[in-house]
Amino acid sequence: MSVDGWSIVVTAEHGGNEVPAEYRALFRGRSKLLASHRGWDPGTLDLAMRLSSDLDAPMVGATVTRLLVDLNRSPHNPRVFSEVTKPLPRAERADLLERFHRPHWDRVRAQVARAIGGGRKALHVAVHSFTPVLDGRTRKPDVAVLYDPGRPQERQLAIAWARALEAALPSRVVRRNDPYRGYGDGLPTALRREHGARSYMGIELEINQRHVSDGGRFPAWVADALVATLSEVLA
């Protein structure tokens, strides 16, 4: 989808909790951890695929567990590795980055570069979800739009999208930069450093996992509202 010179790229960094066969010994006895929000972002891969289809946008998804290597952390961030993989020898950690982290980032970079190289601008929509209770604290948002307030065009889009979501979902709580700040370390922040504000916008969506069904998917209203309101704002 290209609107007013912008082309959309959809990503899902934490779309699954898969463990490659050669690393399964590391996770023996950790099935509950893998199934928790620490292991992945439930509902996001399916949601990203729906957005990609409805918005006619390329999608780059990943299904390896974030406990192996976190694809939404910079490679130099100590938290790119979890307590499961941080004790591994340096060479093995470097191999994890090379096998899983770098390919995902390179695929996203390629899609962004393709948009920019085609004379358009890239709107990167990264799809994430969050646990409804963390450290005993209930997190109120149902849907959140994360962005960098220091980039005026990105801020303008995020505010407009959040307001459109509030109007479309009057019974839901819509927030901006809550429960996370959109300018913290992550893939969109890294891409902002590589591309100017006139050619790249990075928006992270955070959806409350309390809406995930037993089948691991979000209800239709989530994607319906996101697609309709983004199309409205861009038009």
Three-state SS string across the chain, please?
Answer: CEECCEEEEEEECCCCCECCHHHHHHHCCCHHHHHCCCCCCCCHHHHHHHHHHHHCCCEEECCECCCCCCCCCCCCCHHHCCCCCCCCCHHHHHHHHHHHHHHHHHHHHHHHHHHHHCCCEEEEEEEEEECCEECCEECCCCEEEECCCCCHHHHHHHHHHHHHHHHHCCCCCEEECCCCCCCCCCHHHHHHHHCCCCCEEEEEEEEEHHHCCCCCCCCHHHHHHHHHHHHHHHC
d(CA 153, CA 130): 26
d(CA 230, CA 234): 6
Identify the pLDDT of residue 3: 53
Identify the pLDDT of residue 118: 82
Q: Is 215:39 a contact under the CB 8 Å cutoff? A: no
Q: What's the maximum distance between 2 C-alpha atoms anywhere in the chain?
A: 51
In this prediction, the residues of the chain whose per-residue pLDDT falls under 70 are 1-4
Quick one: which of 158, 161, 209 has its CA closest to 181?
Answer: 158
Identify the pLDDT of residue 2: 45
Instruction: Please report, as a single letter, which amino acid is at residue 169.
Output: L
Taken in order of first residue, the domains within the chain and their CATH numbers are 2-234 (3.40.630.40)
Identify the pLDDT of residue 1: 45
Identify the pLDDT of residue 4: 60
Quick one: which of 79, 107, 108 has its CA closest to 93?
Answer: 79
Q: Is 115:36 a contact under the CB 8 Å cutoff? A: no
Quick one: which of 155, 181, 146, 165 has its CA closest to 231?
Answer: 165
143 φ, ψ (degrees, to nearest 5): -135, 135
Q: How many CB atoms lie within 10 A of CB 28?
A: 7
pTM of the model: 0.96
Q: First CA to last CA across the chain, in angstroms?
A: 11
Instruction: Please report, as a single letter, which amino acid is at residue 56.
Output: D
